Amino acid sequence: RKEVEQDPGPFNVPEGATVAFNCTYSNSASQSFFWYRQDCRKEPKLLMSVYSSGNEDGRFTAQLNRASQYISLLIRDSKLSDSATYLCAVIGTDSWGKFQFGAGTQVVVTP
């Protein structure tokens, strides 16, 4: 089993709709969590960190569920420009500094 797993998608979302997807992790000692966005043929860029209490940044909301060992990302009022691949990243205390990345979830926002 992979340490970090994501549904590859694609999630086809009408413009203006809401989309949500999860990322599960296997290491219960994981301490830090992030969502990255990667556009086609570009480098990953940090979208947001994920805090224990959950956090929101504009139309984006990230949640952490430690009991079930997953993080989630919700995008409200989807824009065409939200089309990208979203990668989750996890760090465990037993491997501090070493990110484990998921394979990514592709989101396609359609007009």
Partner 1 sequence: DAGVIQSPRHEVTEMGQEVTLRCKPISGHDYLFWYRQTMMRGLELLIYFNNNVPIDDSGMPEDRFSAKMPNASFSTLKIQPSEPRDSAVYFCASSGGGGNEQFFGPGTRLTVL
Sites of contact with partner 1 (CB under 8 A): 31-32, 34, 42-46, 49, 87, 89, 91, 95-104
Distance CA 87, CA 23 (A): 9
Q: How far is the CB of 58 from partner 1 (least distance, A)?
A: 18
Q: Which is nearer to partner 1, 35 or 78 (CB)?
A: 35
Q: Which is nearer to partner 1, 84 or 102 (CB)?
A: 102
Phi, psi of 100 (to 5 degrees): -105, 120
Query: Please, are residues 23 and 16 in contact by the beta-carbon 8 Å criterion?
Result: no
Alpha-carbon distance 25 to 101, whole Å?
Answer: 10
Is residue 27 classed as helix, strand or coil in its secondary structure? Answer: coil
Write down the least CB distance from residue 71 to partner 1, Å.
Answer: 15
- Shortest reach from residue 111's CB to partner 1, in Å: 27
